[in-house]
Amino acid sequence: MANFTRRNFMSFAAGGTMMLAAGEVLAHDNDTKAYPFKADFPGPHDPLREQENKDLVNPPATDNGTLPNLRYSFSDAHIRRSSGGWTRQVTNRELGVSTTIAGVDMRLNAGGIRELHWHKEGEWAFMTYGNARVTAFDTDGGWFIDDISAGDLWYFPPGIPHSIQGIGNDGCEFLLAFDDGGFDEDSTFLLSDWFKHIPPEVLAKNFNVPVSTFSHLPSPKDEYIFAGKVPGDIASASPQKGKKSKQNFTHRMIQQSPIISAGGEVRITDSSNFPVSKTIAAALVEIAPGGMRELHWHPNNDEWQYYLEGQGRMGVFASSGQARTFDYRAGDVGYVPFAMGHYIENTGDTPLRFLELFKSDYYADISLNQWLASTPIELVKQHLHLDDQFMSALSAQKNAVVKNNL
């Protein structure tokens, strides 16, 4: 998989601006054919934002009710800059409905270090660009070190101390996901912060060194993400003391054999193939142009999404006659509350790639097509008043990503 960029977003935005000069917003009818919608906004408004969210401006006729917002862009998130890189977060403070998972987008320059730290929450991460070196220390006293690149991921259970460093010529960027929607970067347990809040004589007693050793400790404000030297090869950088951990905290997700469907492919990573990941399960989904993530729902938890590449739209059914449609592109976060039915269409002419994340140790979904195919025919007919052609088209085999070839 190529490195993920926002190139598709920028080219789309440029095209949208030219269209809006004529006072039009691109929308879609029920036959998915594009047509110009004359937006009547005589007061203040933002044409570019309206173009990016066309299904809010001119929603499908099937939308109804008052579902909460299920979309937020990292591009709208505050960036925290440091000497070694930057970070920004999307939590339930930015996306109120997101109670199960919070996300952080982090960039480390070459040599940039996310300092030694730990969390109360489990940390799951997906590399979107470049190369990184991660370290960890387990509860059995074992050390772990690994070099990873785009398409790889890691998981550090709650309380496990770890670090991340950008390596190679240009460092790295990655998505962090924490198993608590209320997570806050400032709640991290930092090594430098703790040292500054321990009396020097206690430090001296603990490490059996003179008190003067701790007279020039750095400020925690200068650490967090700080500039460092690009390390040597992993063999020379491995710890010389202690023992190697028996646990594997990293996983090559992109190297998994995908589940291939007519409209794209899916890679699933949970505790069945990445045993250490006990609180977050994930799927990496690719939808080809014209394809769609089939109508489905998840029976185990809410779904938190991160859009990596391309553009798409998601329709969500919340029961009680409520349904909404949202548009997404690279860098956006999507959310589907527990058990709500939904689909995701690729609305562009390039592949749509995104992550599905769940606060769970296993991945699960229910396919509408497969369910109906596995239900007595006459029972389905009496419910929906559909003909034999529809019944024959039902598939007892799950096809996660579909494409209509008619």
107 in Cβ contact with 91 (< 8 Å): no
Is 78 labelled as part of a ligand binding site? no
Is 123 labelled as part of a ligand binding site? yes
Residues 6+ apart with CB under 8 A from 131: 147, 148, 149, 166, 167, 168, 171, 172
356 is catalytic: yes
CA nearest neighbour of 265 among 346, 192, 184: 346
Is 296 labelled as part of a ligand binding site? yes
Is 378 labelled as part of a ligand binding site? no
Is 383 labelled as part of a ligand binding site? no
78 in Cβ contact with 186 (< 8 Å): no
Per-residue tokens: 180: 């608590």
Residues 6+ apart with CB under 8 A from 9: 311, 329, 330, 331
Is 162 labelled as part of a ligand binding site? yes
Query: Of 115, 121, 286, 356, which one is the catalytic site residue?
Result: 356
CA end-to-end span of the chain, whole Å?
Answer: 29
Residue type at 89? Q
> Measured between alpha carbons, how far is 120 from 180 in angstroms, rounded to an integer?
10
Is 117 labelled as part of a ligand binding site? yes
Torsion of CA 28, 32, 33, 36, to 10 degrees: 0
Residue type at 222? D
Task: Provide the annotated active-site residues.
Answer: 356
Q: Which residues are annotated binding-site positions for Mn(2+)? A: 117, 119, 123, 162, 296, 298, 303, 342
Q: Which residues are annotated binding-site positions? A: 117, 119, 123, 162, 296, 298, 303, 342
